[in-house]
Amino acid sequence: MIKIQKFTFNPYQENTYVLYDETGECVIIDPGMNNGSEQNALDSWIKEAGLNPVLLLNTHCHIDHVFGNKFVFDQWGLKPQFHKGELSVLQAVPAYAPQMGMYYELSPEPEVFLGETGKVSFGHSELELIFAPGHSPAHLCFYAAKDGFLIGGDVLFYASIGRTDLPGGNHEQLIANIREKLFLLPDATEVYPGHGPSTSIGFEKQNNPFLN
């Protein structure tokens, strides 16, 4: 059974997730730490829980979701994995971070890119890839079918959806991916988004103003 630990980091209030199972292996998804105290919070929690990080995943590569990639690489030797369509997004971050007054430590680039479909595994667990661009050009969600939850990044939020006005965004594409991919998941599926509180597929089907 996969357990989830959530942290909320950086000025964008981004949700960073650590997923782990009974083996002690864990996955870090979208590390958003951008100062020493946030780095320490993640590092000390992982050490106290006795976990062994084996994967670093990015749903997408906007700055608030990759602030901590370099720290994770330095601490545990993990390079990020994401869809190759996000590489140009990552490569654009160093140019605009200073314009926004943000300190950014250069993320390593992947040795392994993720596909539009497939699975990633750790310990006794696996996550299914769901390709859902629209907020960003090659956004992935990570679905734990056996455990009934989705790490959704910035696709679907509680009563909202990801913004589509950034480079590579496409509103119609985002709506279509939510309807045709995420809304096919069981209603009870818990959605853990990149910002804000968790929600469920069933709740969003009934109540999301952008999709009704």
Q: Is residue 60 part of a domain?
A: yes
Q: Is residue 181 part of a domain?
A: yes
Q: pLDDT tens, 118-156?
A: 999 999 999 999 999 999 999 999 999 999 999 999 999
CATH number of the domain at 100, please: 3.60.15.10
Q: Is residue 156 part of a domain?
A: yes
DSSP symbols for the chain = --EEEEEEETTTTEEEEEEE-TTSEEEEES----SHHHHHHHHHHHHHTT-EEEEEE-S---HHHHTTHHHHHHHH-PPEE-BGGGHHHHHHHHHHTGGGT---PPPPPPSS-B-SS-EEEETTEEEEEEE--SSSTT-EEEEETTTTEEEEETSEETTEE----STT--HHHHHHHHHHTGGGS-TT-EEEESBS--EEHHHHHHH-TTT-
Q: Provide mean pLDDT across the span 87-91.
A: 98
Residue 212 confidence (pLDDT): 87
Residue 169 confidence (pLDDT): 97
Residue 106 confidence (pLDDT): 97
Q: Is residue 173 part of a domain?
A: yes
Q: Is residue 17 part of a domain?
A: yes
Q: How many domains, in total, are found in the chain?
A: 1
Q: Is residue 33 part of a domain?
A: yes
Q: pLDDT tens, 1-43?
A: 999 999 999 999 999 999 999 999 999 999 999 999 999 999 9
Does residue 100 register a pLDDT over 90?
Answer: no
| 0.85 surpassed by pTM | yes
The domain of 74 spans 3-207
Q: Is residue 212 part of a domain?
A: no
